[in-house]
Amino acid sequence: MIQFVVNDATCTRCGQCVLDCPSQIIERSGDAPPRIRVENEENCIQCQHCLAVCPAAAISIAGRNPADSIALASGSFPALDTMTNLVRGRRSVRRYRDENVDPRLLRRLLAALGNAPTGCNRMGLTFSVIDDKDAMQRFRIQAMNGLAEVTKAGRLSESFGFISEAAPAWFDRGEDIVFRGAPHLLVVSAAPESVCPQEDVNLALAYFELMAQSAGLGTVWCGLAKMVLELLPDLRDVVGVAPGNYYYAMLFGLPAVRYARTVQRDGGARVKRIQVP
């Protein structure tokens, strides 16, 4: 049951919900309020566009009250200059303070992250987070011990590259080249039935990175942490990534570094104008 409810008294019959529904299952007939036929309900992707687009706040779906949404007006979004500064000024942070991030901030970021787009709005992402620096330290030690065992067993050939240096760096110099001393880890994973698991996971992490950095946190995408999880299934179980799920990892925490300016990579990607024959 998708619970598509229209307030007959406030609906102006403007038809915006009909026009905006990506599944085209909202209908109008005469002067009656818009409706979704029972036989079409299974085509609803639960995107809530009907609730979001209604100028009169007359539509509720899946039990959501439009009054609980944030009203959008011009100026509700960050200005382009602010967004561009964020995209240019965000950095991969590899030095962290030995402190926990405020759990209220973390809850706020992760809740908002549920709004990131997913293919066909399947959602179905899991955010696995180490929110405590002492737990992260235990995780780090287990990872380094595991990597040392894997190295000893000859399973870490040079083809694994940088990761083969992780255990020696840790045990010889106390240097953490995998988790960068970060107090927290976020692993986003996607259920196998997702339509676009890799895109969904990486988009969620990209959104997390921008939100977290706008809140003063440091983040770094961590391919090395992913390699560690690939090599050590026991740790993957600790994180709670189900076998067969796609996942990726990001470290975050309060930064122990402040960047004074942006880098200059505006020409970093080639822009190709498509010539349509």
Ligand X SMILES: Cc1cc2nc3c(=O)[nH]c(=O)nc-3n(C[C@H](O)[C@H](O)[C@H](O)COP(=O)(O)O)c2cc1C
Q: What is the per-residue DSSP string for 140-200?
A: HHHHHHHHHHHHHTT---GGGGGGGGHHHHHHHH---TTTTT-SEEEEEEE-TT-SSHHHH
97 forms part of the interface with ligand X (CB under 6 A) = no
Distance CA 44, CA 120 (A): 10
In sequence order, the 6+-apart residues with CB closer than 8 A to the CB of 214 are 78, 86
> Which C-beta is closer to ligand X: that of 220 or that of 232?
220
* Among positions 10, 24, 69, 92, the unique one binding ligand X when judged by CB under 6 A: 92
Distance CA 221, CA 205 (A): 8
The angle that helices 223-231 and 133-152 make with each other, rounded to 10 degrees, is 60
AA letter at 7: N
- Quote the least distance from Cβ 223 to ligand X, whole Å: 3
Count of residues near ligand X by CB under 6 A: 8
User: Hey, what are 182's tokens?
Assistant: 């970060």
**Radius of gyration over every alpha carbon of the chain, rounded to an integer in angstroms:** 23
Distance CA 248, CA 136 (A): 17
94 forms part of the interface with ligand X (CB under 6 A) = yes
Q: Which range in 51-59, 64-72, 132-140, 217-225 contacts ligand X by CB under 6 A?
A: 217-225
* Among positions 64, 91, 97, 122, the unique one binding ligand X when judged by CB under 6 A: 91
* Among positions 22, 78, 216, 223, the unique one binding ligand X when judged by CB under 6 A: 223
Give me the 49-88 binding string for ligand X, x by CB under 6 A, dash otherwise.
----------------------------------------
- Quote the least distance from Cβ 230 to ligand X, whole Å: 12
> Which C-beta is closer to ligand X: that of 123 or that of 220?
220
> Which C-beta is closer to ligand X: that of 62 or that of 83?
83
Distance CA 132, CA 21 (A): 42
221 forms part of the interface with ligand X (CB under 6 A) = yes
122 forms part of the interface with ligand X (CB under 6 A) = no
- Quote the least distance from Cβ 82 to ligand X, whole Å: 18
* Among positions 6, 186, 222, 235, the unique one binding ligand X when judged by CB under 6 A: 222
Positions in the binding site for ligand X (CB under 6 A): 91-92, 94, 220-224
